[in-house]
Amino acid sequence: MKLISTVVLCSAILFSGSSTTADNAAASSSAIAIFGFRDAAAESSVETRFLAAPDAKLAEEHLRILTKAPHMAGTAEDKATAEYVAQKFRAAGLETEIVEYKVWINYPSEISVDLIAPPGVEMHGPTREHVDNDPFQDDPRVVMPFNSMSPSGDVTAEVVYANYGTPEDFEKLDKLKIDVHGKIVLVRYGQNFRGVKVFVAQEHGAAAVIIYSDPADDGWRRGDKYPDGPWRPDTGVQRGSVGYMFEFAGDPTTPGVASVPSLPESQRISPQESAQLPKIPVTPLSYHDVWPVLQHLRGPDSPREWQGSLPFTYHVGPGPSKVKIHLKQDYRFRTLWDVIGRVPGSELPDEWVVAGNHRDAWVYGAVDPNSGSAAMLEAIHGVGDLLKSGWKPKRTLVFCSWDGEEEGLMGSTEWAEQHESKLENSPAYFNVDVAVSGSKFGASAVPSLKQFVRDVTKAVPSPKGGTVYEEWQKASQPEPPSTQSPTEAMAEIHRTPAVQVKTDVPVGDLGSGSDYTAFLQHLGVPATDMTSSGPYGVYHSVFDNFAWFKKFGDPEFVYEQEMARIFGLEAVRMADADVLPYDYEEYGKEIAAYLDAARKRAEAKFGGRVLDFGPVSAAAHRFQTAGARILAKQKNPPRDVASLNQALRGAERGLLVPQGLPHRPWFRHAIYAPGEYTGYAAVVIPGVNEALDKGDSEAARQQLAVLASALDRAAKTLEGYR
């Protein structure tokens, strides 16, 4: 209890939202103030009680139970995890229901990849994942390596190696006069979302795609491989969806419509018409299986930056390596189970503070996602203790255990689409996915919540001593590549912000790849995401299991406890805030910096007179000025704050573009979207920047006007509060 009391003092931040250090804040209890609260002492008392509850040993037990069996979305084992989570929600006092959705997904029926040339060389894959002495690898329920959303197909063709499968990589093949039409393209994981690799290969006429993990990116080049170390072993395979989630998220047959079981078939589109589904077969392999394929490619030497860590020179082909792929996918409508727990708000029940983590996994999912599930359950344990003490949140708390995230963010997207009108008043969505794979904290957020995240971490103790914020500051210094976070190592999520307008710990930008997507980019609900990361080479493999986690991820579960505290405190603090703790001044500064960078790109592409940035720059300045003015009012609020909070909530929605982004209308946010050619990583001011990527000056001109209108709408909303 002494540690918690000290931390609450250290957590003190000025009501102005400035970056006062924990030491200064702790100097006097009378100086305690929390941005957004009139009575910070009362809130500190609530937070002290909450922070005392999350328990490392209970988190360990949650993780052990949730990962005792493979539980891919839609399976009986997946439903069992839903029932366990629902039981824990109810025990904490949450009003709980299990909500079903009917979605189009595939399981693998038959998967084979055979090397049939050159003569005398054999490979029959996929090889079953295996290392010495792993206690979980031989469960017959382990799904064979496959890519969700791939079509069935039989392809026999020569192989071409295309590095990471980016547009730039295919351009280099063109310069080398390597034609991929009708070929099987071999690409390695990293740099962009796996679905983008397939999309670009499909655009270039490839017949099929094989994706593998190269040991340079995700294996022994980084350190000892499992079970001796945390990195991917020879036979480890990264499963994953290759659906085109950058087109829209959720069930591929119901874009923009909730896929409830009662939905008439007439309101679905056919899978054949869905923009989310690839047209060419795709399957993943281990570097064990890819080794002979790559080794027997000829043609030009690959560009030297394409060289991985297998012990031979990489060539691009085509051939003589020739591969036969046979994929038989079992597509059908299957049931997902979201678990939704509510604590009704005592004063503002229609304002939902939503917090979520997905539960489904490709196999056991100890790190991804059930480290997040265990943390969420311990956060709910803390909320339960508050409820027992008589506390009630001002706003409604909604905790969500999502299903079907791995296939395409399905459970969260369908629920958000179903509750679109009710979420218009939601002040925030807080996400956790890969909660723990190590000790390095990082976060991403919409700019209005970046300072909020920093402030929350000032209130939470670090297992290393001091606060999470202080450790975050230390860890923000450059480190060797081998200490990259799991997702950074595979380019799945980029935590580095596009710009840094504050001399403070960097909070990244939100692209896609997790369950905040529908909330922020479709509905305009401000969102955050966070992780505590370390070396993690077993992502989406059979080895992401309890044994790996206990040995390498968080042996004492102290970072699970830390993440439970941060995640829960975000929700509790937002639910009780008198004034919503947004910072639109920081938001405006970031947008201005995005525009400066875009202007320089445009001048380099088109010259200085082709695009007029004057109107959009004026709109951005207006938005930043309005943000600064309303921030001053947030620091000295009137007694009745309803209209102030309404303006603060409405500004983010003002940044939505009614017609959506070009060619992908489901994404409606003018400032953030997943990139068409990155997939997970955020593209800022996407309409403008993607037009610049294509060298389309007319599209860029149109998108500058769309962006100016969005900024003017948001600024007008903030200015509307007097």
Active site (catalytic) residues:
405
Produce one character per residue of 581-602: b if its CB has 16 or more CB atoms within 10 Å, e if not: bbbbbbbbbbbbbbbeebbebb
Number of C-beta neighbours around residue 48 at 10 A: 17
How far is it, in rounded angstroms, from Cα 227 to Cα 550? 12
Q: Are 239 and 543 in contact (CB under 8 A)?
A: no
Q: Which of 490, 496, 588 is nearest to 239 (CA)?
A: 490
Residue 661 CB-half CA count within 13 A = 26
How far is it, in rounded angstroms, from Cα 202 to Cα 329? 19
**SS3 for 100?**
strand
Residue 453 CB-half CA count within 13 A = 30
Copy the structure tokens of residue 614: 């004057």
How far is it, in rounded angstroms, from Cα 585 to Cα 657? 21
Number of C-beta neighbours around residue 564 at 10 A: 34
Residue 162 CB-half CA count within 13 A = 34
Q: Which of 408, 105, 433, 412 is nearest to 245 (CA)?
A: 408
Report which residue type is found at 351.
E
DSSP conformation letters of 284-301: EE-HHHHHHHHHTB-SSB
Residue 647 CB-half CA count within 13 A = 22
How far is it, in rounded angstroms, from Cα 514 to Cα 433? 7
How far is it, in rounded angstroms, from Cα 194 to Cα 625? 40
Q: Which of 563, 568, 587, 320 is nearest to 445 (CA)?
A: 587
What one-character DSSP code corresponds to residue 150? P
DSSP conformation letters of 616-643: HHHHHHHHHHHHHHHHHHHHS--S--HH
Q: Which of 245, 222, 373, 116 is nearest to 676 (CA)?
A: 245
How far is it, in rounded angstroms, from Cα 278 to Cα 149? 7
Q: How far is CA 130 from CA 134, 136, 666, in A?
A: 8, 10, 41
Q: Ramachandran region of residue 319, left (φ > 0), alpha (ψ -120 to 50) or beta?
A: left
Beta strand 395-402 with 348-358: parallel, antiparallel or unpaired? parallel
How far is it, in rounded angstroms, from Cα 580 to Cα 634? 8
Q: How far is CA 27 from CA 22, 23, 158, 341, 681, in A?
A: 9, 6, 70, 39, 41
Q: In sequence order, what are the residues at sequence separation of 6 or more whose Cβ sits closer than 8 angstroms to the Cβ of residue 151?
A: 277, 278, 279, 280, 281, 327, 329
